[in-house]
Amino acid sequence: MKAAVLYERRAPMVVEEVELKPPVAGEVRVRIMAAGVCHSDYHHWNSEYGSILPLVLGHEVAGVVDAVGDGVAKVRPGDRVVLAFGHRCGECFYCLKGEPYLCAPPADAPLLKRFPRIWKGDRGINSFLAVGAFAQYTIVPATNVIPLPEDVPFEVGALVGCAVATGFGAVVNAAKVQPGSTVLVMGCGGVGLNVIQAAALVGAARIIAVDIRDNKLKYAEQFGATHCINASHEDVVSRVRALTGGFGADYAFEVISHPKTIEHAYESLRKGGVAVVVGMAPVGAMLTLDPLAMMRTSRVIMGTAYGNIRPAVDFPRMLELYRAGKLKLKELVSRRFGLTEINDAFRALDAGEVARGLVVFD
Ligand code: COD
Ligand code: ZN
């Protein structure tokens, strides 16, 4: 198959012919139809987060089942599917507790020993987040495969795999935003726009969107923001105070990945408010928070990994919300790229040109 391989950080990915090992027991091979380009892919292309090169990036995918390993009854070749990324061993403390987004399999777990699945001659190539979606095919455990209804386009399905899951999950599963709330959303990219539309869906009264780009704030309004702040020339904390009569926001989501903007999110809260860290800050970054004020104001700061998503439970409900016209997902797709244009797709993401760019396959 063809895959886009990252051999060196910050260097262009190389689209080339590679070999994919066949699926073993419990696994599914999927022909990829659409793969979103997410800022986490960009982070791992750009910075040292511990991923080992060479690597095929991409983790937001929908496609068609192409082959199944022994013992897989859940899907058959020809089925349309959305993929969840990462591991869900089903046996660790967190999986048993219903928090599979925190899955911590033992180091010798078979599901970790599956890699590398992609080879170039005698050199193994890793698959980002156990998916590696910037390729014609991927192999994943059957537990990470969720059926995609016939009437939902592959592009929409792909977005459900990360941007929607992470944004919607942050609001609904992690923060559990209450109707009538004032919600601050910092960063209006593919994930942030889903935080905004999920907040609108659960009945937030005021949604204050922050970005440094006016085109992103336009998108934010289309997805339900009631107020916009351009942080390139406005002070976020004082603007939020002014917009809320000095009170502050009930919830503040940081969907950018900077320690400074996490601090601003926290400082924009009312007493008892909740700041939610969605973005992955650089390794080793630290926050400066006033612990005395934290105690006196009963404020909360929490993290959320992958929107605290349980794919088997949450993907179908997000797909149903799309089918019911309650989640705008087609509107997120602002540009399509072929696999050979992958480096341009990364440039467009970094330049802030797209709500979501997608790599599409014939
Ligand atoms: N102030 C305000 N907005 C800013 C600033 C700033 N200083 N800097 C950048 N922005 C804006 C950009 O203009 C852009 O609109 C937005 O922030 C970022 O959007 P995208 O589209 O580039 O990125 P997303 O939405 O794909 O991803 C953002 C995340 C923060 C989710 C991502 O970077 C991340 O950290 N993901 C890990 C979290 C996680 O759970 N991941 C699951 C798999 S992604
Ligand atoms: Zn992602």
Residue 282: what pLDDT? 96
Query: What residues have CB less than 8 Å from 81, skipping those under 6 apart?
Result: 28, 30, 62, 63, 64, 65, 75, 145, 146, 147, 148, 157
For residue 45, the ligand closest to its alpha carbon is 1
Q: Determine whether 122 is exposed, middle or buried from the number of CB atoms within 10 Å of its CB (0-12, 13-18, 19+).
A: exposed
| Residue 39 designated active-site | no
Domain spans, the chain: 2-148+329-360, 167-305
Q: Determine whether 132 is exposed, middle or buried from the number of CB atoms within 10 Å of its CB (0-12, 13-18, 19+).
A: buried
Residue 138: what pLDDT? 98
| Residue 87 designated active-site | no
Nearest atom in ligand 1 to 167's CA: 31
Q: How far is CA 250 from the centre of its chain?
A: 23
| Residue 43 designated active-site | yes
Q: How remote is the CA of residue 35 from the centroid of ligand 1, in Å?
A: 17
Whole-angstrom Cα distance, residue 210 to residue 236?
8
| Residue 127 designated active-site | no
Whole-angstrom Cα distance, residue 163 to residue 148?
16
pTM above 0.85, yes or no: yes
Residue 239: what pLDDT? 98
2-148+329-360 homologous superfamily:
Medium-chain alcohol dehydrogenases, catalytic domain (3.90.180.10)
Q: For the segment 5-28, what is each residue's pLDDT rounded down to a tens digit?
A: 999 999 999 999 999 999 999 999
Structure tokens belonging to residue 57: 């990036």
Q: Report the pLDDT averaged over residues 183-189.
A: 98
| Residue 228 designated active-site | no
Q: How remote is the CA of residue 183 from the centroid of ligand 1, in Å?
A: 17
Residue 109: what pLDDT? 85
> Bigger pLDDT: 157 or 114?
157
Task: Please identify every residue whose CB atom is under 5 Å from ligand 2, which is an ion.
Answer: 38, 40, 162
Q: How remote is the CA of residue 58 from the centroid of ligand 2, in Å?
A: 8
Residue 293: what pLDDT? 96
Residue 41, amino acid:
D
Q: How remote is the CA of residue 141 from the centroid of ligand 2, in Å?
A: 19
Q: For the segment 19-77, what is each residue's pLDDT rounded down to a tens digit?
A: 999 999 999 999 999 999 999 999 999 999 999 999 999 999 999 999 999 999 999 99
The class (CATH top level) of 167-305 is alpha beta
For residue 356, the ligand closest to its alpha carbon is 1
